[in-house]
Every structure is written in structure tokens, then in C-alpha cells.
Chain A
Amino acid sequence: MTTILYSVTGLLLFVFGLFALIVCPHPLRKILGGNVMSAGIFLFLVAASYRADTGEIDAVPQAMVLTGIVVSVCITAVALVLSTRLQQAADQGARRRRKRRREEDAGE
């Protein structure tokens, strides 16, 4: 029972994350969607190999999920720094345009 429940939850989380990654405009929310997506996949992976009756634990999916979590935190960090730098570059551009427009008005 728990296997089915968590597998279905994992898949639904994957689909939610996919939807967020595609639809939401704000870069931070897209990255949040990416994280929810990866959490969903890992939940599905461990649920797929979890056998409540025999109770023994298959270590390979857990190692895969550990690797996946570390890789997804690395991508999240890079995406966050990129979107911050992007915002900074956009603001510098806006400030420069404003300054140039001010000079033009002063010029006239």
C-alpha cells in the first residue's frame, strides 16, 4: 500500500514541478519547480524499490537518490546565482539607459 501511495505522490510531484517549470514566469519559481520535480522522481525511485513485506532495503536506489539530491542542489545554486546576476545586469542596463535619456533631455 505505501509503495503505491508514494509512487503516485512522486509522479504527481514530478508533474507539478514540470508544470511550474513551464508556466511560471519568475525565475525563482521555475527553480523551485525544478526542485519539486527532482524530489518527486526520487520519491518514485525509492518507492519503486521499497518492499514493506520483506523489509530489506535496496541500497542502490538510495545511493542514486543521494547523488541526485547533491546534483540538484548544485544546479539550483548555479541557476540562482545566474538569475541574480541577470537581474543585476538588467538593472545596470536600465540605469545606463535612464542616465543617457537624462543627458539627452539636458542636452535639448
Chain B
Amino acid sequence: MAFADSWIVVPVFAPLTAALLAFLVRRASFFISLAAACLSLLAVAVLVNRFLVNGPAAYAVGGWDPPLGICLRTDGPALIMLVLTAVAGVGISLYAKGYFTLRIERPSRVGRPERQERFFWPLWMLQLTGLNGLYLSGDIFNLYVTLEVIGVSAAALAALSGKSASLIAALRYLLVSLLGSMSYLLGVVFVYKTYGVLDLGLLQAAAAPAPGVIAAMALMSVGLLLKTAIFPMHFWLPPAHANALAPVSAILSGLVVKGSFFLLFRLWFDIFSPVLPAAAFNLMGSLGAGAIIWGGVQVLRQQRLKLLIAYSTVSQLGYLVIAFPLAFAGGSSQAWSAVLFMASGHACAKIAMFMSAGTIMLHAGHDRIRDLAGIRAYLPVTAFAYAAAGVNLIGLPPSGGFIAKWMLLITALAGHQWLWAVVLLAGSFLATAYVFRVVAQLFVIPPDKPVITRRRAGLLEWPALIMALLSLLLGLMAPYPLRLLEAGQIVRTAMTMGGGP
């Protein structure tokens, strides 16, 4: 294998080494982490154009071929998520630097912001390692280990803020993630017992309906649904995301939830799609519908901004899952690629929203929505970023969310599934309600209270704006990522009876 082939390894190893060095050399931890984030962005760029040139690639780690060794694979969906993680990684690292410098100047407890920053960087780098490892890995047990890396580092990041509310949320998050990985592991054991092979490619070839596979898929899906906080099992997400530090909430809502969802997506559409009955897809659809409706209603009842955004994550995740029956019944690969498009759009928007919420909280000192009147006066860029991210959540035309919802609606109407179409539209109405409720506070209501003086926070506002504009840009240049998804079809043709768009 040529030396140039080793680019596939860089997205996992750059953050890994950065985590080690950041834990050792604490003073330079920001620069090491930023360098690693940029390096993995570069590596992902190289991987994307190599993928467009000569299609999916596989890389046997340690030189041992799949049945024995582990191999890393790049295909369409994996690359979309890798690009998303790399871009979000650079954005969140910049925002975190600004966030911590501001907190260190005005600490609530002397020494606490230093502790938080010193331990944020190694944990954040390990989180990136786990995410990139999950997207690249082609071995079902290795996916379990990456899930654990993501779960433990997410719980550690959630517990970083030290308040007792966030400690309780972090402990519950850790136990839920333990429960999820254990049931996923039991699914892996059933797969190994029925097929005797761990590699995803070989499993895909050997996928035949057997009782063991149904049990394995049920256990794995329940575990991953628990970790992705889909409707009935979302109780742990709002407190964990709302009580964490601002950059940590952005990481949790934007990237961590997408990691376990991507694994669910790969299992359902890539590996075991011929094995699963139609009823299973409809069950997933109903879970998604429940998440959209129930989450949307809950969002309207929240009084705190960060809790509002956390509950909106619960409702938006419903969109990702409601696409399962559409993609299966509709037959066209449109709904299927819309899922990942929606995931990346939602990630950028949610990261921008949590960043702006963090900036508002730093300046206003609280995040009660009722008292946030007139933030526009002294934080214009942040308010605009929040509004732009809201546009993507609602799904108004220029944004990526619009493209994804449009493709889902078309598939639903083509497949005559009126129920899912109605739920999709209802979700958009609920999203409009809760976005404009906050935007009204930020923009429209004239500030009647004294304006807070301190404004200079350069590194805090621009990353939020960039991520919000990215989610809008995603809609404008939709064909490129969609071409990436279409080019990467390994098995989709087998699954989709109808032709592509």
C-alpha cells in the first residue's frame, strides 16, 4: 500500500496524538488541538477528492485482511459525516478558546475556568478521535469501542462544569450510555454467533434472514436509539445538554448524537437492509413522528434558552428517524440521502444556536427567555447567527434543512404516505413557533432595560456566524454533497427498487 494511502488514518490519529500532547503539555493545549483539527480537515479534503476520483477505498490496519484484521472504509455517507465533523471541529475549537478566555477573566470561582479549560482540550480531542473512528471503521466490534470512547468523553465533558445539576445529568448520561453500549454489544455477540465474522463488508455479503439476526438488530437498534435519544428514550438529553458549558452543549447536540445515529443508519440501510421487515421501518417512523410532535410541544413550554434548544434537538432528531420508512417504502434513494443531508444541516444549525446561546449567557448572566429583550442592541452578530440557524431548523428555502425536508416530502407524497407528510409539516410549524418566540425577544422588542456594556468578544461571535451561514450555504450548493452520496452507493441499488433521482 502506497504511503499516500495512509491519509485515511490521519482523521483518527491526529486528534489522538493531540489528546496525548494536550494532556501532557497543558499550556499549549489549544494550539495542539487547533492544529489537529485543521490537519484532520485537510486529510478529509484529500479523502473526498480521492473518493470522487476512484470510489470507495478500504485500508486494512496492520496489514491483516478483513476476516482477521480490522479495515477502515471510506464511502459516501462516511465522508459526509467526516466533512461535517472536521468543519464543526475547527469551529468549536475556535469558539471554545474565546469562551474560556472570557470566563478566565471573570471567574465565578478562582481556578475553576482554568481547570475546565485544561481538561476540555484533551477530552474534546478524544471525542473527535471517537467520532472519526466511528465514521471510518469497518468492524462491528471496533464500532463498539468507538461508541464507548464517544460515550465516556461526552459524559466527562458534560460533567466539566462542576455544578451539581450538571453532575447529576452527567451521571445519568453515563449510565444511559453504558446501557446503550451493553445492548449494542449483546447485538454484536448475536451477530458473531450467527455469522462468525466481524467485518461489515463480509456481513453485508452474508446478510440472510435468520432468527439470530432479528434479535441482533433489535438489540443493536435499541442500544443506538438510547444513545441517540430518540423519542421514548430521550429523558437524559435535555438536562445534560442544557447544564453543560456552551462549547460542550454544541459538541453534544451537534456531533455526539449524530455519531450513534450514523451507526444506526449504516446498520439499517447498508448492512442488514434486505433482512429487516417493513413493520420495523414503520415502527421507527412512528418513533420519529412521536419525537417531532412531543419534542415540539415540550420546546414551547421551556423558559430557559438552553433547555429550549436541547428539546429542539430531541424534536429535530425525529426528522432523521422518520425518513426510515420513507426511504424503505418510497424506494427512491432520495429520502435516504436526505437523511444525512438533514443531519449535517441540523448539526451546523444546532452548533451555531448553542454557541450564540453561550455568548448571550456570558454577557447577560442568565438565559431566561423572558428577560433577553433587545440582545440585538449589543450582540448583533450573535442574534443574527441565532436567527440564521433558526431558518435552517424551520426549513425555509435557502437552508439545507429546506432541501432535506423537500426531498422527504416528495418521497412521502410519491409513496402515498400521507401520515408522514402531515407530521413533517406539523414539525415545521412547531419549529417556526419556538424559533420565532426567541427571535422576537432578541430582535423585535425594543430594549427598555439598561444595555450591558461589555461587548468586545471577537472569537465568541464569528464562529457562531460561520456555522449558521454554513447551514444556509449547504442549501445553496446542495448538488455537491448529494453527488458525493450518490457516487458512494455500494448496496443502495440492491435496496432501492426504483431508479435514482
Contacts and interface: CB of A to CB of B under 8 A. Distances in A.
Contact of A82 (B163, B170, B192): B170
Contacts of B369: none
B185 interface: yes
Chain B at the A interface: SS class: helix
Taking each of B152, B155, B186, which has the highest tally of chain A beta carbons within 10 Å of its own beta carbon? B186
B381 interface: no
A83 interface: yes
B167 interface: yes
Interface in A68-82: 68, 71, 74-75, 78-79, 82
Contacts of A18: 179, 182
A71 B146 CA distance: 11
B413 interface: no
Contact of A64 (B141, B159, B163, B171): B141
B164 A75 contact: no
A71 to B, nearest CB: 5
A70 B164 CA distance: 28
A96 to B, nearest CB: 11
B198 interface: yes
A34 B189 contact: no
Contacts of A21: 175, 178-179
B171 A82 contact: yes
A44 B499 CA distance: 43
A48 B216 CA distance: 14
Interface residues of B, number: 25
A30 B148 contact: no
Nearest to A22: B179
B145 A67 contact: yes
Nearest to B186: A41
Interface string B461-494: 0000000000000000000000000000000000
Interface in A15-60: 17-18, 21, 27, 30-31, 34, 37-38, 41, 44-45, 48-49, 60
Given A21-B175, A74-B152, A82 B167 contact: yes
B254 to A, nearest CB: 23
Given A45-B192, A82-B159, A75 B171 contact: no
Interface in B175-195: 175, 178-179, 182, 185-186, 189, 192-193
A89 interface: yes
Given A60-B198, A64-B141, A75-B148, A44 B171 contact: no
Contacts, number: 72
A18 B193 CA distance: 22
B385 to A, nearest CB: 33
Given A60-B198, A78-B152, A90 B170 contact: no
Contacts of A64: 141
A93 B141 contact: no
A99 interface: no
A86 interface: yes
Contact of A86 (B148, B167, B179, B185): B167
A87 to B, nearest CB: 10
B185 A41 contact: yes
A92 to B, nearest CB: 8
A85 interface: yes
Nearest to B67: A60
A75 B152 contact: yes
Contact of A78 (B155, B182, B185, B198): B155
Taking each of B168, B179, B182, which has the highest tally of chain A beta carbons within 10 Å of its own beta carbon? B182
27 contacts: A14-B182, A18-B182, A21-B179, A27-B171, A31-B175, A34-B175, A38-B185, A41-B185, A45-B192, A49-B193, A60-B198, A68-B185, A75-B148, A75-B152, A75-B174, A78-B156, A78-B174, A79-B171, A79-B174, A82-B167, A83-B171, A85-B159, A85-B167, A86-B167, A89-B162, A89-B164, A89-B167
Interface of A: 14, 17-18, 21, 27, 30-31, 34, 37-38, 41, 44-45, 48-49, 60-61, 64, 67-68, 71, 74-75, 78-79, 82-83, 85-86, 89-90, 93
Given A37-B182, A78-B174, A90-B164, 12 more contacts: A27-B171, A38-B185, A45-B189, A48-B193, A61-B192, A67-B145, A75-B148, A79-B171, A79-B174, A83-B171, A86-B164, A89-B164
